[in-house]
Structure 1
Amino acid sequence: MLAAHVWTVALVACVAQSPTDGGPPPSKDTLQLIPIATTLSNPDYLTAPPGDVNRLFVVEQAGRIRVIQNGQPLATPFLDIVSKVSSGGERGLFSVAFHPNYASSGFLYVDYTDLAGDTRVEGGTLTSRTNRSLNVNLGNVLSFGQDAAGELYVLSVSGVYRLSAS
């Protein structure tokens, strides 16, 4: 399963860093998997803040978010909440969503399983966070909508939920 996660991260990274000149998509014969980070521990989500073209943020199940900058993994985690996360199987840190105005606000959300086994969504800046407990299934994905309302969505196996990001 770890190998599948690593290759998923590599594939998404290739697509995320590919040029988007509006031309036709490459043929299936030209796609290649190019590993860029093979030392990650159970990676399960990949994203970047809006407008950030030099960094990828990789969520590790145990409770760390690693940064790949200009194609190289950084040694120091962006976020380390291992002491707050119950991980293994269907538990762990599963997602991060950067606020649409992250560049100026520094605001983000993370979704994880706490030590009691409850799903938590924690939002704020790296120095100031608030908890919200959710009664949804484990292994959620967080994403901000593309509208101007600033709505945060939670995707779970039990459905799609909307949280106010304000």
Structure 2
Amino acid sequence: MTLVLIGYMGSGKSTVGRKLSKILNYEFIDFDIYIENNIGMKIHEIFKTKGEVFFRKQERLSLDQVVKRKHAVIALGGGTPCYGDNLKLIKQEKQVVLIYLKSSINNLVDRLFDEKSGRPLISHLESKDELSEFIGKHLFERAPVYEQSDITIKTDGLSVDDVVKSILLQLF
């Protein structure tokens, strides 16, 4: 079994994924770091110097490599399942369980505002209102993709341990 965590940036995919992988004794793959290691640049540098189209092509190539792994927990980037045929690629793998970490706009704004400088898609936003509007628009566009998950966990008000327990209860 391979667990693929999806959701908007700041929803806790990497944090939950690390903890889940330790409990299950699975390999953990932070997909953004995997791409950075393959290309030799940070995500924000890739966006800045090579552009989003280049990034999305590299993302697709990398996804094809990691989604076939067994006994792994993969924390995808927030946009990864939403581009091209990425969702189809993920869902066609029989061993994959797709898990959506669903967070409210307010929760995401609270988590992301102070760390926006390291996130290329939101680094230009100057206020929490702008960030809220941006996230709301993205979630409206991405929700139909995210909602195709096998498991959805609403993360608002839950600790990382609670989210992990909820996932494990639904898996086993």
By percentage of residues, which structure has more helix?
2
TM-score by length of 2: 0.27
Query: If each structure's strand is expressed as a fraction of its own residues, which one has the higher value?
Result: 1
User: Structure with the greater relative contact order (CA < 8 A, sep ≥ 6): 1 or 2?
Assistant: 2
| TM-score, reference length from structure 1 | 0.28
Structure number, greater radius of gyration: 1
